[in-house]
Amino acid sequence: MSPLFPALTEALADPDGTAAHRSALRFGDRSLTYGELAATAAALASRIGQAERIAVWATPTLETAVAVVAALLAGVPAVPLNPKSGGSELGHIVADSAPTLVLAAPGDQLPPTLAALERIDVDIEGIEGEGEGGVRVPRSAAPPAPGALDLAPESPALVVYTSGTTGPPKGAVIPRRAIATTLDALADAWQWTGDDVLVHGLPLFHVHGLILGILGPLRRGGSVRHLGRFETAGVTRELNAGATMLFGVPTMYHRIAETLPDDPALAKALARARLLVSGSAALPVHDHERIAEATGRRVIERYGMTETLMNTSVRADGEPRAGTVGVPLPGVELRLTEEDGTTTVEAFDGETVGEIQVRGPNLFTEYLNRPDATAAAFTADGWFRTGDVAVRDPDGYVRIVGRKATDLIKSGGYKIGAGEIENALLEHLGVREAAVTGEPDADLGERIVAWIVPTDPQSPPSAGELADHVADRLAPHKRPRVVHYLDALPRNDMGKIMKRALAHD
Ligand code: MCA
Ligand code: AMP
């Protein structure tokens, strides 16, 4: 397989060449050229050595990007950890993925769950600089292990944890082949080149922010400017300072749409961008239209999943169409199937619904330690069942209209399983019974709603207490935003909770 990052390989081979001086990563006022990134990551890669698997404390910082690149150079699979993960979620991920060491920025406080792991600090200050624009020389650059840049395509690159409907998150094992394939398919669809400068403020422990948002520009030999946290002012600043592309989840574009009427500078900046891309959840047509009206630019959507990386996209040279996720990317086979999961829907009529199933080199290999779940995710003939339900327009554009599992909630672009929140709520002594649903939310897409039967109806735990309880155990984005108190949950004759009855209360 050719190297994952040709520009890094070139910079390693010729540290004084032009490629080495190109900008690679910038987070706030800290940045690295390809030469600096190659040297820093190579030095770190040599310290990772032969570890079987490593964890990365994935704060939205330069250190995280360097750590992941180092792991890829070393050929060691990396598990990005959400630094806001609560105790039980982190405990599960660490026990399941069994990393031998953790990479973190110097000074980061790591929780006790990680205390048993060897820690390596990602030392970017080890680069001594001549200041802005000058040539900086790493103190301890060591060449990567021979062949490390050229590993077997099937070898695992990342293990990314993703929620299911019940139980704790599962680790999707993503091979190098899938990363290279998906990024090259996006390059084709978006005419994405090394001249592009991407801006975003996405978290770095998921596919969107990490694989598309960091590894994407690096594979192209281009650069990325990360905002640290999403803010419309940062988007304006970077697009005015040469950024050409913006990636975001619908919540971010919704906030942009809300801000635009009072912020002409933001409208002007967005109008200059080459490409505005939304993904991870559906961007409502109303937000599409507000942005188009204020900026003259159309946001394009792409559709992906942790297990499949990217499946479809509106192409840069295609017709943007709000409410659709475009056409299958090069190399991706996509079909719709009927309820039985195997009979294919042949219609391209914008009406006939079916489950999206995909096949192709963009897919993950397996769920770590979960052969049962891996087997269940594929049909007998090797198609991955996405669980997303869609129709296809006559020209092949895919329109997602829903999903099979009502117990999966997409909030702020994060996929969240109702079951894991219910389990966390049930660990609260004041909770006798719990059910969790998602309801529409203009900002988050869906908000998490908890339906609680308190142990003591006279003194139920407050909504804030339950939100904190979930945030502490799982992660803040999984906390319920609304809590309803009931005397009993509606159940059918089999004793199963009838969530549809709840949602319509
Ligand atoms: C509030 N906070 C709390 C609590 N209440 N913390 C602890 N306990 C509490 N009870 C804190 C939060 O941690 C947060 O802190 C702040 O208050 C605001 O909270 P929240 O409203 O939840 O966050 P937000 O600022 O509104 O976040 C919106 C967001 C975020 C920025 C859009 O949802 C986001 O980054 N989403 C991206 C998700 C994503 O990347 N998904 C891709 C999955 P603080 O402000 O300090 O954080 S990959 C995927 O889906 C596929 C492959 C694909 O297609 O892309
Ligand atoms: P995750 O498992 O967090 O990777 O989320 C994957 C899911 O996000 C998909 O199965 C879809 O339901 C949803 N998704 C991603 N992109 C889009 C999009 N552009 N429109 C609608 N849903 C999307």
**Cα distance between residue 290 and residue 334, in whole Å:** 31
State how far the alpha carbon of 78 is from the alpha carbons of 57, 98, 102, 122, 152, in Å: 10, 11, 9, 14, 16
472 lines ligand 1 (CB under 6 A): no
Which of 202, 206, 227, 466 is the pocket-test mutation for ligand 1 (most atoms within 8 Å of CB)? Answer: 206
Least confident of 132-141, 175-184, 489-498: 132-141
Predicted confidence (pLDDT) per residue in 69-117, tens digit: 999 999 999 999 999 999 999 999 999 999 999 999 999 999 999 999 9
Strand partners, 68: none
Residue with tokens 């330690």: 369
Instruction: Please report which helix (H) or strand (E) contains residue 141, including its range.
Output: none
Ligand 1 center to 414 CA (angstroms): 8
449 lines ligand 1 (CB under 6 A): no
- Using the atom order of ligand 2, give the atom closest to the CA of residue 415: 3
Q: For domain 6-175, give the fold.
A: Rossmann fold (3.40.50)
pLDDT of residue 131: 39
Counting ligands in written order, which one lies closest to the CA of residue 277? 2
* Overall size of the chain counted in residues: 505
Predicted confidence (pLDDT) per residue in 299-341, tens digit: 999 999 999 999 999 999 999 999 999 999 999 999 999 999 9
pLDDT of residue 42: 94
282 lines ligand 2 (CB under 6 A): yes
CB 302 within 8 A of CB 310: yes
DSSP 17: S
pLDDT of residue 384: 98
pLDDT over 70 (residue 186): yes
Domain ranges of the chain: 6-175, 325-403, 408-503
Ligand 2 center to 304 CA (angstroms): 5
377 lines ligand 2 (CB under 6 A): no
pLDDT of residue 485: 98
**Cα distance between residue 97 and residue 430, in whole Å:** 32
203 lines ligand 1 (CB under 6 A): yes
Which of 303, 408, 414, 444 is the pocket-test mutation for ligand 1 (most atoms within 8 Å of CB)? Answer: 414
469 lines ligand 1 (CB under 6 A): no
pTM to 2 decimals? 0.95
- Using the atom order of ligand 2, give the atom closest to the CA of residue 387: 10
280 lines ligand 2 (CB under 6 A): yes
126 lines ligand 1 (CB under 6 A): no
Predicted confidence (pLDDT) per residue in 212-263, tens digit: 999 999 999 999 999 999 999 999 999 999 999 999 999 999 999 999 999 9
What is the identity of the amino acid at 404?
K
**Cα distance between residue 323 and residue 490, in whole Å:** 35
pLDDT of residue 147: 47
Predicted confidence (pLDDT) per residue in 354-385, tens digit: 999 999 999 999 999 999 999 999 999 999 99
Strand, coil or helix: 464: helix
Give nearest CA residue, ligand 1 atom 33: 412
For the CA atoms of the chain, what is the radius of gyration? 23
- CATH architecture observed for domain 408-503: 2-Layer Sandwich (3.30)
Rounded to 5 degrees, φ, ψ at 322 are -60, 140
**125-129, 345-349, 501-505 — most confident range:** 345-349
Ligand 2 center to 403 CA (angstroms): 10
Which of 160, 314, 401, 410 is the pocket-test mutation for ligand 2 (most atoms within 8 Å of CB)? Answer: 410
- Using the atom order of ligand 1, give the atom closest to the CA of residue 306: 52
DSSP 231: -
**Cα distance between residue 298 and residue 322, in whole Å:** 8
> How many Cα atoms occupy the beta-carbon half-sphere of 250 within 13 Å?
27
**Cα distance between residue 398 and residue 297, in whole Å:** 21
Ligand 2 center to 359 CA (angstroms): 16
Q: For domain 325-403, give the fold.
A: Luciferase; domain 3 (2.30.38)
pLDDT of residue 495: 87
